Amino acid sequence: MENNNNKDNKLNIELPEDIADGVYSNLAVITHSQSEFVCDFVQIMPGMPKAKVRSRVIMTPENAKRLLHALQDNIRKFEENLGTIKDGNSDLPPINFGTPPTEA
């Protein structure tokens, strides 16, 4: 039996400069089909009737579930160190507000 060593499984992740700045989003719209999840990250400006999608991430259902678990783990660690995150901002629509599912 082979010994799987983490040193052999390193992944070199490149972060291009134009992506490193990130994109600000204060709303996520999540839709799905049988084969993919689509996460649109939106920036809403107060008093403006329109909002713009700033970034779209498309992933498999398996990777969406991995993302969910990673977020849960990171939120748990954050709250252990820095206190409970309040989630009662009523000025914004819900994260997923009934948009139709995407077609694959």
CA distance 31 to 73: 23
CA distance 24 to 45: 11
Strands (DSSP E) contained in 44-94 are 52-59
Cβ–Cβ under 8 Å, residues 30 and 18:
no
Q: Which two tokens stand for residue 87?
A: 């989630």
pTM of the model: 0.72
pLDDT the model gives residue 22: 95
Query: How buried is residue 30: exposed, middle or buried, by Cβ count under 10 Å (0-12/13-18/19+)?
Result: middle
Q: Which helix or strand (DSSP H or E) is residue 29 part of?
A: strand 27-32
pLDDT the model gives residue 104: 47
Rounded mean pLDDT for each run of 10 residues along the chain, 104 residues in total:
63 94 94 97 92 96 98 98 84 54 52
